[in-house]
Structure 1
């Protein structure tokens, strides 16, 4: 349990606001739980706990994505509010993870509501564009973005404002079978998330790398840095020997050599 000063409260609300922005912009990934957990942990002086909580929640949201008109559960509000409950109000990690799932569903409803309001802002921007009013278009776009930020910041402010004793009593009032069931469900979602990611990546050319990585993960002497170096090296080797990257080298070296294609790929990163 942490007593926050004004600066800390302001910084947490800024993190929540930008998490809401990023949930629609999706540029810097600031809405991901591992990022919000780390930032709120650093603000409250509990960086390690924030990373642990954020990493656990990140595994749950790994496979969540918007597909067409289907809106995924909201990772931003789940990560921010859970981090506040655990790092500020004194809830346990398991309680924070269990509460994150219904929070994500509530956030899903909120973001659908805000996106519905944004339809009106879009029509307003169209009218301003027809009149040649660029400022009006900017105001409409920024208003929609601000609504998405407030969608996360306001619940975060409400949780901060509630006394820790009230939060603790509310959490303890939840039956164990509910929190336990949500925790088990969260663990199942982790497996589903991994399966969805693997399903998207699966191909006859990538399966060998998956099994190599799976085998290397069992080598206890290798840390994540070593695993990353091995993975990067295997990727470079694959680019150099894969047939799709060697088509231009056949027939005497005109125009698309392997080295040129590899240079282009490296420049993109």
Structure 2
């Protein structure tokens, strides 16, 4: 692996770590992080497949109250690096997925360390704000975000300096019962993630569209792009018919359909 590739992968890992807190450009999402690492390493197809599969698993990962979800950023970056170093291409995706879930849980330890260090940083920012030293406040903000980036970049850099033969031998030595078990467990997590998303979105207005999509998904000739076009078309039809109130626009008492949907929550 060339020096340029290593630098680009570490940059992606650094951005993924920061986005785990910022949530602005979504670099920490598996689909984005794995795709970027696959792109810079010349294994774009394998990166996209790995990222898409991990994204399904990460749908159910969310911080609720004091409970911290598994670290999607570390899972994405580390599993993508292991996939690249393993040299198995698309065939190694299932093994990389099996490694990703334990890495996501292990990432909670790094998250705990970073958040513990952030406590005195917050106190320093408070002291700077009390003295109207806004430049120092901005500086501490930047340092705190960079610390989150290093939380992922340092483990990523460490993985990159492991010989590829060692990684390949480790992946090949994993027994089938372990990889198969982790794949099954990952599939169960995907189902739970979908259930949580549906539970948040489910209203009497959207259930018919869910049923239509469920039936259309069984048509194997339809691609994801075709399903997306159908979904957008149905959404426009629903909004248009709702605004007209089913009576050609003659009922002026019909409100905005978006307001009706929001009121159901």
Q: Is the partner of 1:162 in helix, strand or coil?
A: coil
Which digits, 9 at most, give the CA deviation of each residue in 1:35-54, with x for residues without a partner?
A: 11111111111111110111
Aligned partner of 1:116 in structure 2 is: 116
Deviation at 1:250, TM superposition (A): 8.0
Q: Is the partner of 1:88 in helix, strand or coil?
A: helix
Output the CA distance in 2 between the equivalents of 1:25 and 1:250: 47
Output the CA distance in 2 between the equivalents of 1:94 and 1:155: 22
Aligned partner of 2:55 in structure 1 is: 58
Deviation at 1:237, TM superposition (A): 2.0
Report the count of equivalent residues. Answer: 253
Work out whether 1:105 is the aligned partner of 2:92.
no
Please give the TM-score of this superposition, normalised by the length of structure 2: 0.88
**Gap change, CA 1:49 and 1:130, over 3 Å in 2:** same
Deviation at 1:182, TM superposition (A): 1.9
Which digits, 9 at most, give the CA deviation of each residue in 1:121-148, with x for residues without a partner?
A: 1111000000111111011111110111
**Gap change, CA 1:121 and 1:204, over 3 Å in 2:** same
Deviation at 1:173, TM superposition (A): 4.7
Aligned partner of 2:261 in structure 1 is: none
Deviation at 1:73, TM superposition (A): 0.1
Aligned partner of 2:227 in structure 1 is: 227
Work out whether 1:10 is the aligned partner of 2:22.
no
Let me know the Cα RMSD of the aligned residues: 2.4
1:88 pairs, out of 85, 92, 104, with 85
Q: Is the partner of 1:242 in helix, strand or coil?
A: helix
User: Which structure 2 segments of 5+ residues have no match?
Assistant: 259-265
User: Which structure 1 segments of 5+ residues have no match?
Assistant: 263-269
1:49 pairs, out of 46, 51, 63, with 46
**Contact 2:85-2:167 at 8 Å conserved across structures:** no
Superposition pairs of residues 147-226 of structure 1, within 5 angstroms: 147-226=147-226
Of 84-93 and 142-151, deviating more is: 84-93
Work out whether 1:39 is the aligned partner of 2:36.
yes
Deviation at 1:251, TM superposition (A): 7.4
Aligned partner of 2:240 in structure 1 is: 240
Runs of 4+ in 1 over 6 A off after TM superposition: 243-246
Deviation at 1:176, TM superposition (A): 4.0
Please give the TM-score of this superposition, normalised by the length of structure 1: 0.86
**Contact 2:244-2:250 at 8 Å conserved across structures:** no
**Gap change, CA 1:193 and 1:127, over 3 Å in 2:** same
Aligned partner of 2:64 in structure 1 is: 67
Deviation at 1:180, TM superposition (A): 2.9
Which digits, 9 at most, give the CA deviation of each residue in 1:92-122, with x for residues without a partner?
A: 2121100001100011221122112112111
**Contact 1:89-1:168 at 8 Å conserved across structures:** yes
